[in-house]
């Protein structure tokens, strides 16, 4: 993609379906945005959560402005507010993201990094706007915390942690099939260290690394270090022996479909 | 008393939901396939709720429910949408992924609100180019994440037991991870 010269950030309210919490036409937004942005050299990310869209668009000035003009009159958005723009930006923050969708900022260190980079701009916003960004990205900006302190009470880890944005198209890696699925499911839910993956899947550390290095997995893998941990560590402290308390249903389903040590 | 969990397969025409229930079920699956009156690319299609079952020992069972994925059948969705253990949305592999029916199913079942594991299973993937499949997985995963759901998108060969079992196993793993995190009750299965 060519170098961008403009970045624009906006917040809008989503028009929700009459039933449920899913915004109207979200499916089409996903499909159309990916195609449109690829064709027009636009990158960035879109987050939807709790009734609000928060979006960063980066690309040439004319492409970004044309797209934002479309969004402002799009009936799936209302109360569209341009939060800030940056000119002559030179490099992309989200170079490989044609239009990545996220439901919360904790799924991506790039979003943390970007909001850290824009800290002064965020702090200059009206408090009501900061509260709405909080809702959308699950942060604590309105209380004055920076993005890296968003998960209050959590501790920092120096371990590498991993998270999968999507499953690989096949689960066959020459290892125990059921354990591999357990590991992949664990990676979809939260950030995990190698040790946690070993504990949750019963694979060895070497086997866990083997799966993480597979191109189909690596392509969808995010890695972080020294970031705020999720709640896993705290929860595990009150879950002293999950193996013994694992309900029969889950054990039996695993053993019905294949050998698994009980 | 036998404990029971329900896994719903909701899918488009020709997505393989009747086939996967026949593949997984240990009883003769009750299917509602009828001869199509219009050209949909196959002779039979589901018009009601298919049913199959897997017994897990003497006191546990998993019920398999197949339901049409088009919005006009949403009255059938309410028949199965109670205390679901998991939902698998079945979709046939296509170069132009459609999210219309998935949109309707997620709006109706609202799995994020009920914390029900939700899996998108792409069938007939063996005849699709690898690049196309990657694109499909990305599109559906992005959509799920935007709906506050994890990117649980997988491919499945509905005629293969080995492949089909991955859906209940993945749902099982998601529940298990939640138990490990203490984020889910065990619905009285212990």
Residue A262 pLDDT: 45
CB-count burial class (<10 Å; 0-12, 13-18, 19+) for A94: buried
Residue B10 pLDDT: 92
CA dihedral of residues B88, B92, B93, B94 (deg, nearest 10)? -130
Task: Mark which residues 80-99 of B lie under 8 Å from A by CB.
Answer: 97-99
**ipTM metric:** 0.79
Helices (H), chain A: 26-39, 61-72, 109-117, 119-123, 127-137, 177-189, 194-201, 205-212, 215-218, 232-237, 242-245, 248-257
Segment B70-127, tens digit of pLDDT: 777 777 777 767 788 999 999 999 887 877 788 888 878 888 778 899 999 999 988 8
Q: What phi, psi does A240 have (nearest 5°)?
A: -65, -30
Q: Do B155 and A254 touch (CB under 8 A)?
A: no
User: pLDDT-derived band of residue A200, with 50, 70 and 90 as boundaries?
Assistant: confident
Q: Do B181 and A21 touch (CB under 8 A)?
A: no
Task: For the beta carbon of residue B41, count every other beta carbon within 10 angstroms.
Answer: 9
Task: Mark which residues 52-91 of A lie under 8 Å from B by CB.
Answer: none
Structure tokens at B90: 């079945």
Chain B nearest CA to A13, separation (Å) = 14
Task: Mark which residues 179-198 of A lie under 8 Å from B by CB.
Answer: 181-182, 184-186, 188-190
Q: Is the pLDDT of residue B36 over 70?
A: no
Which of the listed ranges A39-53, A242-256, B35-49, B107-121 does the model predict with the highest average pLDDT? B107-121
Task: For the beta carbon of residue B113, count every other beta carbon within 10 angstroms.
Answer: 10
Q: Which residues of A touch B86 (CB under 8 A)?
A: none
Q: Do A185 and B180 touch (CB under 8 A)?
A: no
Q: Which residues of B touch A20 (CB under 8 A)?
A: 106-108, 110, 113
Measured CA to CA, the distance from residue A245 to residue A197 in angstroms comes to 19
Chain B nearest CA to A205, separation (Å) = 18
- Considering only alpha carbons, which residue of chain B is nearest residue A247? B190
- Chains A, B: CB contacts within 8 A come to 168
Measured CA to CA, the distance from residue B126 to residue A25 in angstroms comes to 30
The residue that leads in pLDDT, B54 or B82, is B54
Which of the listed ranges A40-44, A258-262, B27-31 does the model predict with the highest average pLDDT? A40-44
Q: Do A257 and B165 touch (CB under 8 A)?
A: yes
Segment among A11-20, A250-259, B107-116 with least mean pLDDT: A11-20
Measured CA to CA, the distance from residue B180 to residue A231 in angstroms comes to 12
Q: Are A181 and B169 in contact (CB under 8 A)?
A: yes
Structure tokens at A226: 């020294």
Structure tokens at B169: 């196993």
CB-count burial class (<10 Å; 0-12, 13-18, 19+) for B29: buried
Segment A126-179, tens digit of pLDDT: 888 888 877 776 554 444 333 333 333 333 445 678 888 788 877 888 898 888
Residue A64 pLDDT: 93
In terms of Cα–Cα distance, which of B12, B24, B84 is closest to B51? B24
* Partner residue opposite A189 with nearest CB, options B3, B60, B177: B177
């Amino acid at each position: 993609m060519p170098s961008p010269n403009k970045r624009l950030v906006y917040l809008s309210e989503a028009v929700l379906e009459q039933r449920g919490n899913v915004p109207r036409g979200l499916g089409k937004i996903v499909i159309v945005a990916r195609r449109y942005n690829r064709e027009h050299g636009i990158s960035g990310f879109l987050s939807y959560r709790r009734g609000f869209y928060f979006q960063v668009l980066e690309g040439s000035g004319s492409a970004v402005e044309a797209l934002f003009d479309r969004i402002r009159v799009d009936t799936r958005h209302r109360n569209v507010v341009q939060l800030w723009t940056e000119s002559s930006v030179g490099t992309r923050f989200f170079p490989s993201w044609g239009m990545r969708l996220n439901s919360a900022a904790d799924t991506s260190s790039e979003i943390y990094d970007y909001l850290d980079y824009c800290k002064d701009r965020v702090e200059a916003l009206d408090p009501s706007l900061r509260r709405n960004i909080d809702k959308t990205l699950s942060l604590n900006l309105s209380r004055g915390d920076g993005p890296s302190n968003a998960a209050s009470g959590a501790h920092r880890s120096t371990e590498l942690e991993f998270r999968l944005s999507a499953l690989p198209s096949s689960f066959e890696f020459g290892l125990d099939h059921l354990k591999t699925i357990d590991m992949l499911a664990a990676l979809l839910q939260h950030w995990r260290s190698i040790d946690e993956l070993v504990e949750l899947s019963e694979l060895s550390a070497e086997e866990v690394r083997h799966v993480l290095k597979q191109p189909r997995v690596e392509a969808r893998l995010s890695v972080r270090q020294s970031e705020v941990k999720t709640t896993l560590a705290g929860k595990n402290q009150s879950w002293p022996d999950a193996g013994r308390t694992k309900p029969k249903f889950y054990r039996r389903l695993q053993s019905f479909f294949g050998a698994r040590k009980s | 008393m036998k404990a029971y969990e329900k896994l719903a397969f909701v899918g488009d025409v020709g997505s393989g939901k009747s086939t996967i229930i026949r593949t997984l079920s240990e009883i003769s699956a009750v299917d509602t396939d009828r001869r199509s009156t219009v050209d949909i690319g196959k002779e039979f299609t589901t018009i009601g709720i298919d049913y199959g079952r897997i017994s897990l020992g003497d006191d546990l069972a998993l019920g398999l429910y197949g339901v049409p994925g088009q919005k006009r059948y949403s009255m059938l969705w309410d028949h199965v949408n109670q205390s679901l253990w998991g939902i698998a949305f079945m979709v046939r592999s296509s170069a132009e992924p459609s999210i219309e029916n998935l949109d309707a199913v997620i709006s109706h079942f609202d799995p994020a609100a009920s914390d029900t594991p939700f899996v998108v299973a792409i069938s007939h993937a063996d005849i699709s180019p690898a690049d196309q499949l990657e694109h499909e997985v990305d599109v559906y995963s992005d959509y799920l994440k935007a709906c506050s759901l994890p990117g649980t998108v997988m491919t499945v060969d509905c005629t293969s037991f080995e492949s089909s079992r991955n859906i209940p196993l993945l749902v099982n793993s998601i529940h298990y991870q939640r138990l490990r995190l203490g984020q889910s009750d065990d619905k009285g299965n212990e």
